[in-house]
Amino acid sequence: MLLSATQLHASESGRATYNEYCFICHGTGMPDIPQFGDVEHWASRTSKGMEALYNAAIYGVNAMPPMGLCDDCTEEQVKAAVDYMVGSSH
């Protein structure tokens, strides 16, 4: 087991948040939404830097709702969900 407990916890919580709140748009093949595991699409977005993606997820951008519609989520959880979504594409 190479992952530390902290890293494991972060990726677990990112996955849980993604599955519960982000999947409905980012995992169902909706047009114009970057999908989980879409390497090419995410590459064009991660090139802006992770900070820009975190901010877009937290504050919203165009049809992307602030906090991904997760009213109860902390910013840390939303960031972990971004990491999970983007990390999946490497």
Which residues of the shown chain bind ligand HEC in the complex (CB under 6 A)?
Answer: 17, 21-22, 24-26, 33-34, 45, 52-53, 56-57, 61-65, 68-70, 78, 81-82
Q: CA dihedral defined by 27, 33, 36, 42, rounded to 10 degrees?
A: 180
Contact 13, 72 (CB under 8 A): no
Of 2 and 40, CB closest to ligand HEC: 40
Cβ at position 54, least distance to ligand HEC in Å: 7
Q: Which residue is nearest to ligand HEC (CB)?
A: 68
Of 1 and 10, CB closest to ligand HEC: 10
Give the tokens for residue 70.
């997760």
Of 8 and 52, CB closest to ligand HEC: 52
Cα 9 to Cα 36, 37, 42, 72, 88: the distances in Å are 20, 21, 24, 18, 16
